[in-house]
A and B are shown apart, each in its own frame.
Chain A
Amino acid sequence: MAELVIKLPDIGEGVAEAELVEWQVQVGDLVREDDTLAAVMTDKATVEIPAPRDGTVAWLGAEVGEKIAVGAPLAKLTVAGEGDTEAESAAEPEPAREQEAEAAEAPAAPPEPQPAKVRTKEADAEPPVSARPGPVLGGSALPRPEGERPLASPAVRLRAREAGIDLRQVQGTGPAGRITHEDLDTFTKGGTALGRLQRRTEVEEIRIIGLRRRIAERMTLAKDRIAHITYVEEVDVTALEDLRGKLNAEDRDGLRLTILPFLILALVRAVEEQPLVNALFDDEAGILHRHAAVHVGIATQTPGGLMVPVVRHAEARGLRDCAAELARVTAAARDGSARQEELSGSTITITSLGALGGIMSTPIINHPEVAIVGVNKIAVRPHWDGQGFVPRKMMNLSSSFDHRVIDGWNAASFVQRLKTLLETPAMLFMEVP
């Protein structure tokens, strides 16, 4: 048995100390090699410090919140066999290789905090200077100090001058930060600029085929034919979120409810008041097909692009049924197993960018439908309740309608109904009068 001192490794260029933010072990814990012992935070990153070997934690060198200098003892492990020396010889060659590979592959990379396990023993060891990996001698990613002359051979200097390249802007990956011909190549290809933006001139041609082409055609059709009107309203979803949270906390069947099944229910109810919005407009024949069934299309991002799987007959489904069907068809669309009838036949569509949702959008109607409801991101915003500002969870709905057949008044009434239902979620579950 022996004691192995784990020192705070050199976790990045210019970092002299780091704040201990977490201990993941306690004295007496058994740890395996690579188990995380602690996390330290620099102003650049949080770095996990792994155990270099199997052992038992014998001593912790700092309290959470304390600053530790690089090279200072962090913890001690009781390990089998010999202590520090053995660990060094076993582990030293590997980091050197890793570092070289890193330098070769990514000369442009800024100095990443080194994988701590790699460097943990280095503080103990003093390997030959020339063999020692690290930013100082390798220079692979050393930013050049301000005002220091770039180091480059005369040939590189000449080439740079002829190419109009200011070598001060070029990252040198050679020894001592020397700028190599390869660095110039990388620079001219638009990489490794130090500080200044580079112009890029290449143009990639991407053929629009398959699903993407279909999406393009459908969007063109919709934009060409439909006179869109977009109406944005904010909805206070505090109560709804409260309800959703509680329902999810019950977790009856492992089905996690999103906001969408609630919205589907609200749609079904609102459509009862404004049935015109749940319709298909055959503009060539001049006939609006008003549907009694509410087949809700869900705009879904799939690996291939946008698809619209359909929750059919939402009017005949309860909340959890909607949620389950929604989950099933969207999953099917994403994994490519959706059948054609699951991807068509919607009478109204919901589009949601989820957490990315922004504050508003201008959704494009899924032709030949006449309405689409866009869900924007929920955010806590100050709300004037008549006496003061209170934090409320607010969500915008950005909804587009086909103004050829839907008047602004109908559109607004429909959205206001949705708002009322969503703000008072109990109304979603009241029996239809």
Chain B
Amino acid sequence: MKELSCQLLVIGAGPGGYVCAIRAGQLGLDTVVVEAARPGGVCLTVGCIPSKALIHVAEEYAKAAAAAASGTPFGLHAPPPELDLAQAVSWKEGIVERLTLGVAQLLKRAGVKSVAGWARFRDGKTVEVETATGPQVIRAENVVIATGSTPVELPALPFGGKVISSSEALKLTRPPERLVVVGAGYIGLELGTAFAKLGSRVTVVEAEDRILPQWDRELTRPVAKRLETLGVEIILRAKARRLSSDATALVVETAEGEERRLPADQVLVTVGRRPLVEGWGLEELDLDRDGPFLRIDGQCRTSMRGVYAIGDVTGEPMLAHRAMAQGHMVAEILADKPRAWDTRAIPAVCFTDPEVVCVGLSPEEARATGREIRLGQFPFSANGRAMTLGADAGGSDAGFVRVVARADNHLVLGVQAVGPGVSELSAAFILAIEMGARLEDIAGTIHAHPTQSEAFPEAALKALGQGLHV
């Protein structure tokens, strides 16, 4: 059996793992990364990137279709568009290909050795990898577990056949005529919206009493409104029971306790993700757990010396940028740099239509700290740039930016926004929070006109009681 030793072994080349490996390599650590699939993890291959590609295609198609159907307010008419979804999928695959190759090259350039295969712990310092060329033993001074997460499967609706996860949904070459989405979280709504735009008749089943239950109710209202215009049916307080015996419909139990058949060509189950903690020998290590996750401390150390964990396997929020920051930090810690997790906030973006951004504390969370707070909200319906983008339609449902600040010293605690393209505004929001900005800092910063970003200082001014444009 081949043997290899190194200073650092990273298990999993997702966003957390590959960033950790690259940084470790840059810092001169002898690093090996093991990945069973392509580098890039869920994010690059079946998550963030491909879903955004699909969402973009769907949006472009929807615009063209709208122009064909009823024209536009500004007089654009077009013939009915045609979409070759297979081509769109291969275009998307091209993007994924470029990115995963890019990651592989970055790893190589940083002097990181990549081993393709499935790793399994023998003990805290030794891993056995099943590679195409046979088993490989890797001994490491330090190990970083970055095994990520996997979609949650419903026992009554195991994946397979008509029941698919987000990964399969991204590979569909034809929009299903009738799509039932189980779970109105951000993944389900992002994909459900995309398929609705592509022409599918979409029904969303949610057990809670509203969509995006993890998100602020006010923020989700414009999303619900848009789903309605897209003809998406939302069934709340309902539970997915089973596939009908002829496999043509999903049987759900409604809030009233009645069973209802929802005809479906595909059933997309997006009821969350769970950490991937089996299949790689966790039982050999007996690491402490935090619920389903691996327990880590402020430096991503697990309960075993020399074993670190980063990314989705360590808990919520299961977001790529959190994993990347953790990976970066752990690499520097292993290079003897003093580092610890000390960020104030992790931005969360939901690429629904319109997009939703949450940074820092929501008004409820801020109030829960027992402090007096100030809120300022500015609607995009009063923003010039939003109007010129045709993004103001719907009045109050056009979206807004909301700032949450401490009443005593005006420190910005959180920023939320909903509206077309607000994902890009998240940069300004998170920077404000990390830099410790006060409302006056935001209000006193000149934002370019005409841009949607002007809604940010306007919201801050409103929180100060000095709103200008509303």
A interface with B by C-beta (< 8 Å): 129-130, 136-137, 139, 149, 151-154, 157, 161-162, 164, 174-178
Does B342 lie within 8 Å of A176, measured CB to CB? no
Asked whether, in the complex, the Cβ of A130 is within 8 Å of the Cβ of B440, the reply is yes
Q: Report whether A154 and B343 are in contact in the complex, using a CB–CB cutoff of 8 Å.
A: yes
Size band of the interface chain B makes with A: 20 to 34
Known A-B contacts A129-B464, A153-B435, A154-B343; A136 and B440 likewise in contact (beta carbons under 8 Å): no
Residues of A within 8 A of B256 (CB): none
Q: How far is the CA of A161 from the CA of B337 in the complex (A)?
A: 9
A176 touches B411 (CB 8 A): yes
Instruction: From known contacts A136-B408, A136-B409, A139-B409, infer whether A174 and B338 are also in contact, taking CB-CB under 8 Å.
Output: no
Distance of A139 from chain B, by nearest CB (Å): 6
Given known A-B contacts A130-B464, A151-B411, A157-B342, A162 and B337 have beta carbons under 8 A apart: yes
CB-CB under 8 A from A149, the residues of chain B are 344
Q: Considering the chains assembled together, what is the distance between the CA atoms of A29 and B411 in angstroms?
A: 47
Give the shortest distance, in Å, between B183 (CB) and chain A (any CB): 34
Q: B100 to chain A: closest CB distance in Å?
A: 29
Q: Are A176 and B337 in contact (CB under 8 A)?
A: no
Residue in B340, B343, B344, B464 whose Cβ sees the most chain A Cβ within 10 Å: B344
Given A136-B409, A137-B410, decide whether A175 and B438 contact each other with a Cβ distance below 8 A: yes
**In the complex, per-residue mask of B406-417: 1 if CB is within 8 Å of any chain A CB, else 0:** 101111000000
Is the CB of B436 closer than 8 A to any CB of chain A?
Answer: yes
Q: How far is the CB of B243 from chain A (nearest CB, A)?
A: 49
Which residues, 311 to 364 on B, are CB-close (under 8 Å) to A? 337-340, 342-344
List the 9 closest pairs (A to B, CB-CB), nearest first: A176-B409, A176-B411, A151-B436, A178-B436, A161-B338, A153-B435, A130-B440, A175-B438, A176-B438
Residues of A with C-beta under 8 A to B436: 151-153, 174-176, 178
Chain B residue with Cβ nearest A155 = B435
Q: List, in ascending order, chain B residues with CB within 8 A of A175's CB.
A: 409, 436, 438, 440-441
A178–B438 alpha-carbon span in the complex (Å): 10
Chain A residues whose C-beta falls within 8 Å of the C-beta of B409 in the assembled complex: 136-137, 139, 175-177
> Can you report 20 residue pairs joining A to B where beta carbons are below 8 Å apart?
A129-B465, A136-B408, A136-B409, A137-B409, A137-B410, A151-B411, A151-B436, A152-B436, A153-B434, A154-B435, A161-B339, A161-B342, A162-B338, A164-B338, A175-B409, A175-B436, A175-B438, A176-B406, A176-B411, A177-B409
A129–B407 alpha-carbon span in the complex (Å): 11
Beyond contacts A149-B344, A153-B436, A162-B338: 15 other A-B pairs, Cβ-Cβ < 8 A, are A130-B440, A130-B464, A136-B408, A136-B409, A139-B409, A151-B436, A153-B435, A154-B343, A157-B342, A161-B339, A161-B342, A174-B436, A175-B409, A175-B440, A178-B436
Q: Once the chains bind, are A154 and B434 in contact (CB under 8 Å)?
A: yes
Nearest CB of B to A425, in Å: 66
Bound form: Cα–Cα A174–B410 in Å: 13
Min CB distance A43 to B, Å, is 23
Task: Give residues of chain B (396-430) contacting chain A, Cβ–Cβ below 8 Å.
Answer: 406, 408-411
Q: How far is the CB of B457 from chain A (nearest CB, A)?
A: 13
Chain A contacts for B342, CB-based, 8 A: 157, 161
Name the interface residues of B362-418: CB closer than 8 Å to any CB of A.
406, 408-411
Binary interface encoding of chain B residues 427-457 relative to chain A, with 1 for a CB under 8 A from any of its CBs, else 0: 0000000111010110000000000000000
Q: Please, what's the 1-or-0 string for B215-230, where 1 marks a CB less than 8 Å from any CB in chain A?
A: 0000000000000000
Shortest distance from the beta carbon of B225 to any chain A beta carbon, whole Å: 35
Q: For residue A151, which residues in chain B have a CB less than 8 angstroms away from its CB? A: 411, 436
- With most chain B CB atoms within 10 A of its CB, the pick from A130, A139, A174, A177 is A130
Cβ contacts under 8 Å, B408 to chain A? 136
- Chain A residues positioned under 8 Å from B464 (CB to CB): 129-130
CA distance A428 to B72 in the complex (A): 117
A176 to chain B: which residues have CB within 8 Å?
A: 406, 409-411, 436, 438
A161 and B441 alpha carbons, distance in the complex (Å) = 26
CA separation between A207 and B406, bound complex, in Å? Answer: 55
Residues of A with C-beta under 8 A to B406: 176
> Which chain B residues lie closer than 8 Å to A137 at the CB level?
409-410
Is B440's CB under 8 angstroms from A161's CB? no
Q: Identify which of residues 450-470 in chain B touch chain A, using a CB-to-CB cut-off of 8 Å.
A: 464-465
Give every chain B residue within 8 A of A139 (Cβ-Cβ). 409
- In the bound assembly, the distance between CA atoms of A177 and B435 in angstroms comes to 12
State the CA gap A162–B335 with chains docked (Å): 13
Provide the residues of chain B in CB contact with A136, threshold 8 Å.
408-409
**Nearest chain-B residue to A172 (Cβ)?**
B436
A162 to B340 alpha-carbon distance, docked (Å) = 11
Q: Whole-angstrom distance between the alpha carbons of A130 and B466 in the complex? A: 11
Q: For B438, list chain A residues within 8 Å (CB).
A: 175-176
In the assembled complex, the CB of B441 is this many whole angstroms from the nearest CB of chain A, namely: 7
Question: What residue of chain A has the Cβ atom nearest to residue B435's Cβ?
Answer: A153
Interface residues of B in 8-49 (CB under 8 A from A): none
Complex CA gap A174/B464 in Å reads: 19
Q: How far is the CA of A345 from the CA of B441 in the complex (A)?
A: 73
**Taking the nearest CB of chain B, how far is it from the CB of A150, in angstroms?**
9
Determine the chain B residues whose CB is within 8 A of the CB of A174 once the complex forms. 436
**When chains A and B are docked, how far (Å) is the Cα of A36 from the Cα of B238?**
75
A159 to B388, CA, bound (A): 44
Residues of A within 8 A of B340 (CB): 161
A174 to B337 CA separation, bound complex (whole angstroms): 27
Whole-angstrom distance between the Cβ of B427 and the nearest chain A Cβ: 14
Give Cα distance in the complex from A73 to B90, angstroms: 78
With CB as the reference atom, state the residue of chain B lying closest to A163: B338
A358 CA to B423 CA, complexed, in Å: 73
Nearest CB of chain B from residue A223's CB, rounded to whole Å: 51
Chain A residue, CB-CB nearest to B409 = A176
With the chains together, A154 CA to B406 CA distance in Å?
20
Give Cα distance in the complex from A387 to B435, angstroms: 75
| Distance in angstroms between the alpha carbons of A130 and B438 in the assembled complex | 10
The residue on B at minimum CB distance from A177 is: B409
Q: Which residue on A lies nearest to B440, using beta carbons?
A: A130
Interface centre among B408, B409, B436 (most CB of A within 10 A): B436
